[in-house]
Homo-oligomer: A and B are copies of this chain.
Amino acid sequence: MAHVSTTTRVPRTRLSPEQRRVQLLDLGVQLLAHRSLDELSIDVLAEEAGISRGLLYHYFGNKTEFHEAVVRHAAADLLDKTVPPDGGEPLERLLASVAAYVDYVLENFDGYVSLVRGAAGGNETLRGISEEVRDVLGERVFLEDADFGIVPDNPRNRLLVRGWLAMAEELVISWHQNPSQVTREDLLAMIATALPSWVGGVDAITNAKGA
């Protein structure tokens, strides 16, 4: 049986351990759409995946490691979906990236909020992942804008971008909870516009002081 022809065999439905792990993490991230991280236990995942708790412990060790793996997976997913499009004006690319970010947060709301807040809370590893995401998102602003100089790369603007990301996070969470009369389009414009407006405003002050 060492030379079974692959063409005559039924397609392999058996996943490799790594593929199965990724599939479980995808499911974990999906479950976070309407659940906080605290509500996502290994039991819940086992039930949804239709596999034994024992197998999940085999994959993820314990609840903390499971949560960290899910959060890492969600973070990679967020970064992947918010890559700015190739070409176009930097502000258009920024707007496209902001739109992808806002959609991601809205589609994964409960989990996202618990990630942001949970990461802000006790767990150092979760906080580290949260920090990495902000670093990558911030770095992108300067990479995207490098040829245009709307947001020149300097220590002051690096600080501004950190503040801008915190603002974006708060804005989309607050808007989801109470959109009042603000449309999604307005929200995107508010977030994307804030950065160049702010840089311009601070530049004006600095220039006035220098003059």
Contacts and interface: CB of A to CB of B under 8 A. Distances in A.
Interface size band for A = 35 or more
A200 B156 CA distance: 21
B181 A156 contact: yes
A181 B174 CA distance: 32
Contacts of A154: 181
7 closest residue pairs by CB, A with B = A121-B121, A197-B201, A166-B170, A155-B180, A163-B167, A167-B167, A120-B120
Interface in A187-211: 187, 189-191, 193-194, 196-198, 200-202, 204-206
Contact of A205 (B170, B189, B204): B189
Contact of A156 (B120, B159, B162, B186): B186
Number of copies: 2
Nearest to A170: B166
A155 B181 contact: yes
A83 B156 CA distance: 27
Interface of A: 116-118, 120-122, 154-156, 158-160, 162-171, 174-175, 180-182, 186-187, 189-191, 193-194, 196-198, 200-202, 204-206
A199 to B, nearest CB: 9
A176 B206 CA distance: 21
Q: Which of A175, A200, A202 has the most CB of B within 10 A?
A: A202
Contacts of A187: 159
Contacts of A196: 201
7 contacts: A117-B120, A156-B181, A160-B190, A186-B206, A193-B202, A197-B200, A197-B201
Given A193-B198, A197-B201, A198-B197, A182 B155 contact: yes
A156 B189 CA distance: 11
Contacts of A160: 171, 190
Contacts of A189: 202, 205-206
Contact of A163 (B171, B204, B205): B171
